[in-house]
Amino acid sequence: MIRRHLLGLAAATLALPGLAWAQGAPPAPAWAQGRPAEMAASPLAPHPPRLTVTPPERIPTNALRVPEGFQVELWAHGLPGARVMVRAPNGTIFVGSRGIGRVYAVRDTGTAREVSTFMQGLEAPSGLAMRDGALYVAAMHRVLRVDNVEANLSNPQPVDLTAAFGQATEPHHGWKHIAFGPDGRLYIPRGVPCNICEFDGERFALIESWNPDGGDRRIEARGVRNSVGFDFHPRTGQLWFSNHGRDWAGNDNPSDSLHVNLRRGEHHGFPWCAAGFQDPAVQGRVCNEFPPPVAVLGPHVAPIGTHFYTGAAFPEQYRNALFIANRGSWNRSRLSGFNVVVVREAEGGRLVMEEFLSGLRDDAAQRFTGRPSGLLTMPDGALLVSDEDNGAIYRITYRR
Amino acid sequence: MRLAALLLAGWALALPAAAQGPLDGAALANERQCGACHGLDGRSTVPDMPSLAGQGAEFLVIQLVLFREGLRNAPAMREPARGLSDPQVQALADFYAALPSGPKEDRGLLDAALAARGAQLSAARNCNACHGADYGGRAHLPRINHQREDYLAHALAQYRDGTRVGMDTQMNGVMHGLGDADIAALAHHLAHAP
């Protein structure tokens, strides 16, 4: 399937290091697999995360641009690494992170937001979900549950469900987004442990669903390289997920993509095909064997928050529209993403994608000033957008 | 680790002052006795203790936060990093980033064959792509020349074995599938790089 030279040789190196040396150059490592020779000396590397507090006067709120009639304000700050947001029944907003290992709690006093560090020392707690007053936290391969969470803000005693969920422990692409589906099951993706490689298709490149306390694992979607954002359509209940295309295949290929999972177990193409791009590093299957994405998001834009707007305060065309926070590119010589886009139904049910929040990417200077990450509809119809780089949360409202 | 144990005993006294202590990196390093392990000039002469001189400030900030948050597990660094505020972290990072680094004087004799094997591995895994043509690092990508060989080997093994939590998982992927002999070769090559 995948060309022998990618993995056959890796196995040989492990077994017979001396021999493999004698045979010449060692194989490409996991992270660089599929990296063509002409990109071998590329200086591209992921951007450094900012793990320290950004003072409010240095947060680029004033640079943010939204469509006519919308306003954007700085809603909370002092949450380095802020990513996913979920709302508990009594209004506490829990905010997950990756590098800094914290889960924050934000309480709105009406005039101000009080930010506290709710949990810390977790490895990439980027997945949060609420159910029956309990907060579920996915940190790499771990799954924790804090019961009656809003009554235990100062002293959480998590129940460790890790064993019941049996997640693969490989760190790469092991951070995850989680959410409860309309079927009451907990959806957990598992990315591939590499850039592109041969992998066990029963363990990786999946979106799974589980009983809330683990057990009864089902594979919902296959061939999903790495999804860190998904939601369920407010009317149909269908799973819509975004997916990250692989690195080192060029500046413009493949694109990140948005998919709808129409059937349980549907295969979405990885490693052979991504957003119509037939991967030259892999042979065996072709793009037209797989359902095409419903939207092509752009190369390396890195979709994170993938969220249906369920409020009533935005104009009609945004009701049940899907907002996507693009954290922004690193594996591309010119920056892409660093914005929020909206995918909505136009005339005749056609899907259109429009930029919704911009101003964080400076194309002339090739620098960025923020990284949109999580999205959340509030009960009053406002949309919250977290900014991982500035440790901030913006609030977007509409006034005619 | 006897040194570490001795130093730890002193922390209980040193800390309350430090928590609101000076924002001058040199003074803070002095107060928290960073130099005892990392060298007064940021160039370590103690086995297994990394040199910090000339290391990128962004890298140092991230690592100090990872120690403070208990994410990067290194018992010797638990007390020194405890309770550091973000501005203190920044001040310490700026202090060490500004100290000049250089090839280690006590790095021992070059084993040319071992270094050549390390160089070959480095080329195959593109270490230079991230760590710079001269391994001098940039921003959050650390300098990996001018470093102690024992520390380099230790760090590489930790990434391979998944025991070091870094700011991302790049290094876990890079080290995937390498043996102890490969790591020894890489560390020797890097320690003897100019």
* Mean pLDDT, residues A30-54: 79
pLDDT at A153 over 50: yes
Residue B155 token pair = 């760090």
Among candidates A26, A46, A169 on the partner chain, residue whose Cβ is nearest the Cβ of B168? A46
Query: How much is the pLDDT for B5?
Result: 38
* Mean pLDDT, residues A246-271: 96
In sequence order, the 6+-apart residues with CB closer than 8 A to the CB of A57 are none
pLDDT at A292 over 70: yes
Percent of chain A topping pLDDT 90: 83
Query: How much is the pLDDT for A34?
Result: 67
| Alpha helices (runs of H) in chain A, residue ranges in sequence order | 4-15, 17-22, 162-165
> Domain A62-398 belongs to what topology?
Neuraminidase (2.120.10)
Query: How much is the pLDDT for A36?
Result: 72
Residue A366 to residue A304: CA distance in whole angstroms: 21
User: Chain centroid to CA A23: how far?
Assistant: 40
Which residues of B fall within a CB distance of 8 Å from A100? Answer: 65, 69, 71
Query: How much is the pLDDT for A46?
Result: 87
Residue A122 token pair = 């977790």
Percent of chain B topping pLDDT 70: 89
- Find where tokens 């804090």 sit: A146
Among candidates A42, A171, A173 on the partner chain, residue whose Cβ is nearest the Cβ of B162? A171
Query: How much is the pLDDT for B183?
Result: 98
Touching check for A21 and chain B: CB below 8 Å?
Answer: yes
| Host H or E run for residue A383 | strand A383-387
Which residues of B fall within a CB distance of 8 Å from A47? Answer: 140
* Mean pLDDT, residues A275-296: 95
Does B89 sit within 8 Å of A52, measured CB to CB? yes
Task: Give me the amino acid identity at B179.
Answer: G
Residue A84 to residue A101: CA distance in whole angstroms: 13
For chain A, how many residues are written?
400
Count of pairs with CB atoms under 8 A, one residue in A, one in B: 102
Q: What is the CATH architecture assignment of B110-191?
A: Orthogonal Bundle (1.10)
* Mean pLDDT, residues B22-51: 95
* Mean pLDDT, residues A121-138: 97
Query: How much is the pLDDT for A30?
Result: 53
* Mean pLDDT, residues A201-207: 97
Answer whether B23-98 and B110-191 agree in fold: yes
**Residue in B closest to A14 by C-alpha:** B177
Touching check for B179 and chain A: CB below 8 Å?
Answer: yes
Of the candidate ranges A30-44, A69-83, A265-279, A325-339, the one whose mean pLDDT is the lowest: A30-44
Phi-psi region of A195 (alpha: psi -120 to 50; beta: other; left: phi over 0): alpha
pLDDT at A253 over 80: yes
3-state secondary structure chain B: CHHHHHHHHHHHHHHHHHHCCCCCHHHHHHHCCHHHHHCCCCCCCCCCCCCCCCCCHHHHHHHHHHHHCCCCCCHHHHHHHCCCCHHHHHHHHHHHHHCCCCCCCCCCCCCHHHHHHHHHHHHHCCHHHHHCCCCCCECCECCCCCCCHHHHHHHHHHHHCCCCCCCCCHHHHHHCCCCHHHHHHHHHHHHCCC
**Residue in A closest to B67 by C-alpha:** A121
* Mean pLDDT, residues A9-22: 28
Peptide bond between residue B87 and the one before it cis (omega within 30 degrees of 0)? no
Q: How many helices (H) and strands (E) does chain A have?
A: 3, 29
Q: Are B192 and B110 in contact (CB under 8 A)?
A: yes
Please give the residue that has the higher pLDDT: either B169 or B160: B160
Which residues of A fall within a CB distance of 8 Å from B169? Answer: 171-174
Query: How much is the pLDDT for B9?
Result: 36
Query: How much is the pLDDT for A41?
Result: 73
Residue A92 to residue A107: CA distance in whole angstroms: 5
Q: Are A314 and A275 in contact (CB under 8 A)?
A: no
**Which tens digit of pLDDT belongs to each residue from A357-379?**
999 999 999 999 999 999 999 99
Does A169 sit within 8 Å of B162, measured CB to CB? yes
Among candidates A31, A41, A100 on the partner chain, residue whose Cβ is nearest the Cβ of B174? A31
Phi-psi region of B125 (alpha: psi -120 to 50; beta: other; left: phi over 0): alpha
- Find where tokens 């960073």 sit: B34
Peptide bond between residue B80 and the one before it cis (omega within 30 degrees of 0)? no
pLDDT at A227 over 90: yes
- Find where tokens 């080329």 sit: B123
Average pLDDT, chain B: 89
pLDDT at B21 over 80: no
Average pLDDT, chain A: 91
Query: How much is the pLDDT for B105?
Result: 84
In sequence order, the 6+-apart residues with CB closer than 8 A to the CB of A109 are none
Residue A101 to residue A97: CA distance in whole angstroms: 6
Percent of chain A topping pLDDT 70: 91
- The CATH code of domain B23-98 reads 1.10.760.10
Query: How much is the pLDDT for A186?
Result: 98
**Which tens digit of pLDDT belongs to each residue from B155-166?**
999 999 989 988
Touching check for B130 and chain A: CB below 8 Å?
Answer: yes
Query: How much is the pLDDT for A21?
Result: 28
**Which tens digit of pLDDT belongs to each residue from B81-121?**
999 999 999 999 999 999 999 998 889 999 999 999 999 99
Q: What is the DSSP string of A123-135?
A: S---EEEEETTEE
Of the candidate ranges A160-174, A222-236, A386-400, the one whose mean pLDDT is the lowest: A160-174
Does A101 sit within 8 Å of B169, measured CB to CB? no
Query: How much is the pLDDT for A28?
Result: 53
Query: How much is the pLDDT for B22?
Result: 55
The structural domains of chain B, with segments of one domain joined by +, span 23-98, 110-191
The structural domains of chain A, with segments of one domain joined by +, span 62-398
Read off the pLDDT band of A10 (50, 70, 90).
Answer: very low
Among candidates A48, A102, A121 on the partner chain, residue whose Cβ is nearest the Cβ of B139? A48
Query: How much is the pLDDT for A20?
Result: 28
Task: Give me the amino acid identity at B165.
Answer: V
* Mean pLDDT, residues B122-132: 92
